[in-house]
């Protein structure tokens, strides 16, 4: 085989349609998982769940603060 033939062989374009198809398929799959992680049972949380957890934590903090204030008032009243 001559050098010219080798160059022609290298310059031919390969058909990458199968690889492109696989990459697009994977990209779509990853996009769906990111958009709705709960549906796919992956170890990432959705924004809605995080917001819900933050609200619950805020309520718990308020309850704890109220309990602390009540106990401190009770201790103050007992000291009198």
pLDDT tens digits for range 40-57: 777 777 778 888 999 999
Report the residue count for the chain.
Answer: 80
Q: Is a pLDDT exceeding 70 seen at residue 20?
A: yes
d(CA 37, CA 50): 12
Put simply, whether the predicted model's pTM sits higher than 0.85 gets the answer no
41 DSSP assignment: T
């Amino acid at each position: 085989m001559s050098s010219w033939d080798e160059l022609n062989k290298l310059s031919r374009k390969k058909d990458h349609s199968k690889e492109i198809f696989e990459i697009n398929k994977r990209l779509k799959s990853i996009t769906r998982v990111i958009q709705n992680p709960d549906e796919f049972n992956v170890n990432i949380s959705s924004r809605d769940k995080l917001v819900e957890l933050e609200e619950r934590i805020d309520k718990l903090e308020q309850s704890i603060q109220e309990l602390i204030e009540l106990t401190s008032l009770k201790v103050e009243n007992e000291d009198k």
